[in-house]
Amino acid sequence: MSDIESRLAELNLTLPAAPAPAANYVPYVQTGSTLFVSGQVSQSADGLIKGKLGADMDTAAGAKAAETCALGLLAQVRAACGNDLSRLKRVVKLTGFVNSTGDFTEQPQVVNGASDLLVALLGDAGKHSRSAVSAAALPMGVAVEIEGIFEIA
């Protein structure tokens, strides 16, 4: 069991199966030691987490939705690394998209759900550069979608 998996267990979290692409793209692309992971939408074992921040979802619920995106990203990293998360060296960058109203301005606090989880799991290797932006709508009405760039061994 990798350190990341041990930490997930301590936090009572499990990684989902790596979701299959919903359209004509691949879930990740590796070039050298850099792994680009396609956007992962907010979803739990109960299904898609839908909502619009500033209308029918608050910032705390949005941050929890973003946390599920981080778990999806890690599931894709695990799949790309042959189920060996110890190959993950660091999180390089996240780009978070928040389904929100025009006057909602707490996108960074929403995407913190993903960022905080990755730092809790990886320590300094989880610290990353980031963008957090508003979107008028996201696929299937999900609340959050996050893509990531990772360094792997």
Domains of the chain: 3-152 (3.30.1330.40)
pTM over 0.95: yes
The series of mean pLDDT values per 10 residues for the chain, 153 residues long, is 88 92 94 98 96 98 98 98 96 98 98 98 97 98 98 97
User: For residues 43 and 152, what is the distance between their CA atoms, to the nearest angstrom?
Assistant: 25
Q: How many CA atoms lie within 13 Å of 94's alpha carbon, on the beta-carbon side?
A: 33
| H or E element at residue 118 | helix 107-122
Q: What is the DSSP letter of 11?
A: T
Cα dist from 145 to 9, 21, 87, whole Å = 24, 13, 24
70 closest CA partner among 3, 12, 121, 109: 121
